[in-house]
Amino acid sequence: MSQKETVAVLGCGLIGASWAALFLRAGHDVRAWDPNSDALAGFEDRVAGPLEQLASIGGQKEQQGALSICSGLAACVQGAALVQENAPEDPELKKTLYQQIEAVVGADVIIASSTSAHPWSDLSVGMKLPERLITAHPFNPPHLVPLVEIYGPDDRIVARAETFYGGLGSVPVRLKKDAVGHIANRLASALWREAVHIVAEGIADVEAVDKALVNGPGLRWSVLGAHMAYHLGGGTGGMAAYLDHLGPSQEKRWASLGNPSLTPDVREKLVEGVTAEAAGRSITQLEAERDAALIALAKLRQKSD
């Protein structure tokens, strides 16, 4: 799937628009459909912004693919090599979509779900060819954050998907085992749980927690994974030396981590804290600042590569 393909995008919200831009920029033709007519009506405009951002980064094919807005699901998926499903996080809704897709497409078509949490084993129930389904979870926004977490039971199909997503400039990561929340969302949830605990216990406020993360481990994590960071933390002896010398202190920290509940009081602290941190900036302004920083990082990574 490294050559030009037709890709179907089902669900034309935030993630669908980002995916579509990435597919188009890589030279693939995109057919898009959403049962919500309002989402369809403004979809082309919502794709234009991410396309401009991708163009500012550079790379990818010079020949951009064509975008078609479809009036129904069947017209959208016919002729597609891959269907990227971005429906709401409702397993029953997704399973209904898969049945409708399977009634139209050939046996070699891959159905990829952008689900952020649901495991493959929950979504594949009732499918005629469950092995054609993969979970392909992006990190928002997928046109700027390269991670795609892939799981499926058929190695051949997963390999095809890895080739496809890799051809977009994304970084596919394969799960060896089906898991709720995949990899990155499990890691992010674990970190946020402790971030909430710190605020709930009065150790620090929301803005201080975010500053500590962005200006400390966040910088290191952008170039090193958690395991590799601790490998370097062991000096010349690497991970083995770290575990021998600092393993007990690590376990002590693990034992002190919290398990907070989102009580009304904790919710109020979080909302008030992030409102103060936003300092009057709207969601649109904050997204623009985030995207500008991600684009700058993408350009830097290209130079580094």
* pLDDT tens sequence across 103-151: 999 999 999 999 999 999 999 999 999 999 999 999 999 999 999 999 9
Rounded average pLDDT over 203-230: 95
Rounded average pLDDT over 284-299: 94
**Contact predicate 21/44, CB 8 Å:** no
The single-letter code of the amino acid at 67 is: L
pLDDT at site 48: 96
Could you report the per-residue pLDDT of 95-104, keeping only the tens digit for each? 999 999 999 9
Q: What is the pTM of this model?
A: 0.92
Q: In what order do the strands lie in the sheet with 29-33?
A: 67-69, 29-33, 6-10, 82-85, 110-113, 133-138, 147-151, 171-174
Q: Is residue 262 classed as helix, strand or coil in its secondary structure?
A: coil
CATH topology for 6-174 is: Rossmann fold (3.40.50)
Closest by alpha carbon to 166, among 147, 185, 141? 147
Rounded average pLDDT over 238-260: 95
Rounded average pLDDT over 1-17: 91
Residue 62 has pLDDT above 90, yes or no: no
pLDDT at site 301: 85
pLDDT at site 163: 97
Residue 3 — very low, low, confident or very high, per pLDDT cuts 50/70/90?
A: confident
Could you report the per-residue pLDDT of 172-215, keeping only the tens digit for each? 999 999 999 999 999 999 999 999 999 999 999 999 999 999 99
Residue indicated by tokens 């202190």 = 249
**Contact predicate 70/32, CB 8 Å:** yes
Q: Would you tell me how many other CB atoms lie within 10 Å of the CB of residue 86?
A: 25
Residue 2 — very low, low, confident or very high, per pLDDT cuts 50/70/90?
A: low
Apex 213 CA angle, 192 and 137, nearest 5: 50
Residue 60 has pLDDT above 80, yes or no: no
Apex 104 CA angle, 69 and 88, nearest 5: 60
Residue 273 — very low, low, confident or very high, per pLDDT cuts 50/70/90?
A: very high
pLDDT at site 304: 78
Rounded average pLDDT over 260-289: 97
Burial grade of 179 (CB within 10 A; 0-12, 13-18, 19 or more): middle
Q: What percent of the chain has pLDDT over 70?
A: 98
3 versus 62: the higher-pLDDT residue is 3
Residue 293 has pLDDT above 70, yes or no: yes
The CATH number assigned to the domain with range 185-304 reads 1.10.1040.10
Residue indicated by tokens 């085992």 = 177
Closest by alpha carbon to 136, among 96, 83, 92, 187? 83
Q: Is residue 85 classed as helix, strand or coil in its secondary structure?
A: strand
**Contact predicate 295/57, CB 8 Å:** yes
Could you report the per-residue pLDDT of 138-181, keeping only the tens digit for each? 999 999 999 999 999 999 999 999 999 999 999 999 999 999 99
Residue 14, Cα to own-chain centre: how many angstroms? 12
pLDDT at site 302: 83
Mean pLDDT across the chain: 95
Beta strands in the chain (DSSP E): 6-10, 29-33, 67-69, 82-85, 110-113, 133-138, 147-151, 171-174
pLDDT at site 303: 82
58 versus 233: the higher-pLDDT residue is 233
Rounded average pLDDT over 9-30: 97
Specify the domain boundaries for CATH 1.10.1040.10 within the chain: 185-304
Residue 61 — very low, low, confident or very high, per pLDDT cuts 50/70/90?
A: low
Kindly state the tokens that stand for 192: 């946020």
